[in-house]
Structure 1
Amino acid sequence: MTRPILTRLLVTLTGATALAISASAPAHFQELIPAVEIVTIKSGNPVVLQLQFTHPMERGPAMDMGKPARFGVLGPAGQEDLLASLTAREVEGKQAYAAEYRVKQPGDHVFFVEPAPYWEPAEGVMIVHYTKVVVDAFGAGEGWDAEVGLPVEIVPLTRPYGLWTGNLFSGIVKQSGQPVPFAEIEVEWRNDGSVTPPADAFITQVVKADSNGVFHYAMPRAGWWGFAALLEGETPMKNPEGKEVPVEAGALIWVRARDMN
């Protein structure tokens, strides 16, 4: 298993049962996808963002999103609360969200969301994926590595926009502001329907950070790539039945690669 929480939950199961459960547990990814990753005069303003909880490489199924606990942007003027800008929408009959943000000045804007906890009975955990994406405005090129200060966070070491297909993306996984040695990172491409994975192992790529929490991944195709470091939350939560259960605290970042045409 690529998920440390699942590994701990499965240790009491027999081999055959554990394999069956692990094979049926596809990776969940919180999406936070802007219409453009670089705002220019031609691209227009405002920035439109789509929020969805889904399985990006498999193009679903979508899962219901409760109203996020936090949604905001860290930009040139500091941190701004955007929770009131969210509007509900439906994807495959499941609740999702969208938002618009009008850029007010040049600079890099780190959009982030803390979604409502999601109960996953198949894994026995509450899932909270702290997700962010960086949008550059008018070529300022500053602030893309700013830390929001989320409980778990991927801080980019590669500028996360202006990337060609095949570029190497690097980041550092942090929890409570400190690097996480040897963290596992799941990687998925947001499938546009043009690729059918030949086996389950191709759906979710897995890389491991080094002793300093640093990881690297070369993006082989144009489009949006999600990087998710799945860590165990420091404090258990209660599931819908009122029982205390572990928390999967995911640190996610979305990065776009473009073909060199």
Structure 2
Amino acid sequence: MPTCFPARLVVFAALVLPLGAGPALAHFQEIIPSADVLPEGGTVNIDMVFTHPVEGGPVMEMKKPAKVGVLAGGTTTDLLGQISEKPVDGKSAWTLAYELKEPGAAIFYVEPQPYWEPSEGKYIVHYSKVIVDSYASGEGWDELVGLPVEIQPLTRPTGLWTGNLFSGVVLKGGKPVPFAEVEVEFINDGTVTPPNDAFVTQVIKADANGTFTYAMPRAGWWGFAALLDGDTPMTSPEGKEVPVEDGALIWVKATDMSAGNNMGAGK
């Protein structure tokens, strides 16, 4: 015979179980250019938003970044003074326009201010970067910015077809991180509905040399986030010592192999 439970227990379970259902949404610091390749150089627009890409939100408040810059031709340029606020869904986000006059890779990067995530009891700092190839040069794309945590691409991250493999090495303090966990999401334009939560964030592990590989199955911007434990704890708003999540992020665009494709297209 089936077991009967008191009605109050059934109601209690119905109320409580959904609260723990499903994994927490993955946070991704976006730094997305208007194009990954500028065949004739020119101006590129860079948007910076802290959000959940596949879910299309919610967007999180992004205070003015601690650092924004570009590495091009071996020279690093501070761009913090050139950014302007561009709210998204009522939350602070940022943008800038930058002219690329010379051939070669321009590596744009952002270091956001620490974000307090009360549900996880930790601060989050995602050091994010993206590469824009000026004049389709194919040069300089594997240079390192020198961020505390960083992904060095082993695959040229520009001019990639949908289905191409992307490989990179997770670095902390300039050294590979063995078996680092890497979360992967794409910027959903609303045309893809994941069957369930397991499909929202893909998860892969780097090998013993800190190297990971992933095939991008759909056109668009893909974010690779290696989440590492920070070395120095911070103080929470309640005055407690809490851990810090240092994220090494890189954004890569995949383009469909179709006739008449505009290779300079952005998002």
Segments of 4+ in structure 1 off by > 6 A?
A: none
In structure 1, C-alpha distance between the alignment counterparts of 2:191 and 2:200, rounded to whole Å: 13
Alignment match, 1:27: 26
Alignment match, 1:81: 78
How many residues in Structure 1 have an aligned counterpart in Structure 2?
243
* Cα pair distance change 1:118/1:223, threshold 3 Å: same
* Cα pair distance change 1:19/1:169, threshold 3 Å: farther
* Cα pair distance change 1:144/1:130, threshold 3 Å: same
Alignment match, 2:8: none
Q: Deviations over 1:21-70 (max 9, x none)?
A: 583411000000000010123xx621101000000000000000011111
* Cα pair distance change 1:151/1:22, threshold 3 Å: farther
Deviation at 1:149, TM superposition (A): 0.7
In structure 1, C-alpha distance between the alignment counterparts of 2:17 and 2:225, rounded to whole Å: 23
Q: 1:35-184 alignment to 2 at 5 Å?
A: 35-41=34-40, 45-184=42-181
* Cα pair distance change 1:21/1:114, threshold 3 Å: farther
Alignment match, 1:247: 244
Within the candidate set 189, 192, 199, 1:192 is matched to: 189
Q: Deviations over 1:86-113 (max 9, x none)?
A: 1011111100000111112111011000
Q: Deviations over 1:161-193 (max 9, x none)?
A: 110000000000011111000001000011011
User: Could you tell which deviates more after superposition, 232-241 or 244-253?
Assistant: 232-241
Does the 8 A contact of 2:105 with 2:140 survive in 1?
yes
* Cα pair distance change 1:67/1:182, threshold 3 Å: same
Percent identity for Structure 1 against Structure 2: 61
In structure 1, C-alpha distance between the alignment counterparts of 2:17 and 2:208, rounded to whole Å: 29
Does the 8 A contact of 2:42 with 2:101 survive in 1?
no
Query: Which amino acid letter does the alignment assign opposite residue 71 of structure 1?
Result: V
Alignment match, 2:9: none
In structure 1, C-alpha distance between the alignment counterparts of 2:173 and 2:17, rounded to whole Å: 31
* Cα pair distance change 1:212/1:77, threshold 3 Å: closer
Within the candidate set 206, 209, 214, 2:211 is matched to: 214
SS of 1:90's partner is coil
* Cα pair distance change 1:251/1:94, threshold 3 Å: same
In structure 1, C-alpha distance between the alignment counterparts of 2:20 and 2:142, rounded to whole Å: 37
Deviation at 1:241, TM superposition (A): 2.6
Structure 2 unmatched ranges of 5 or more? 1-15, 259-267
Query: Which amino acid letter does the alignment assign opposite residue 134 of structure 1?
Result: I
In structure 2, C-alpha distance between the alignment counterparts of 1:185 and 1:21, rounded to whole Å: 24
* Cα pair distance change 1:183/1:77, threshold 3 Å: closer
Does the 8 A contact of 2:170 with 2:176 survive in 1?
yes
Query: Which amino acid letter does the alignment assign opposite residue 89 of structure 2?
Result: E
Alignment match, 1:10: none
SS of 1:122's partner is coil
Structure 1 unmatched ranges of 5 or more? 1-16
* Cα pair distance change 1:21/1:235, threshold 3 Å: farther
Between structure 1 and structure 2, the one with the greater Rg is: 2
In structure 2, C-alpha distance between the alignment counterparts of 1:168 and 1:140, rounded to whole Å: 20
Deviation at 1:140, TM superposition (A): 1.8
Within the candidate set 251, 257, 260, 1:260 is matched to: 257
Alignment match, 1:225: 222
